[in-house]
Amino acid sequence: MLYRRKAQGSLGNYTPISVTSVLSKILEHIVSSGISNFLESNNILTPRQHGFRRGHSCATQLINAVDDWAVDDWAKQLIMVTAQM
């Protein structure tokens, strides 16, 4: 219990502490880890999925997107050059 008023002798001057939030965070972590491990081990997620995955971040998503755009742009330019021949 947390003390909140002047007179420490009365129980009414204390605020109860709840451990529900701590327990719910632990349970959330256990469930989240279990789901993530299941999805990773069964290859359910596409390699393009970057959010909330270990080893994947906004930076890796950006690198893949820029790489795709560069390859697409190069392919379009090659098609234009060969069409002009």
pTM for this model (two decimals): 0.50
Q: Is the pLDDT of residue 71 over 60?
A: yes
Q: Is the pLDDT of residue 38 over 90?
A: yes
| pLDDT in the model for residue 31 | 95
Which residue blocks in the chain are alpha helix, DSSP H? 20-41, 58-84
- Work out the average pLDDT over 49-74: 82
Highest mean pLDDT: which range of 1-10, 32-41, 43-52 = 32-41
Q: Is the pLDDT of residue 11 over 80?
A: no
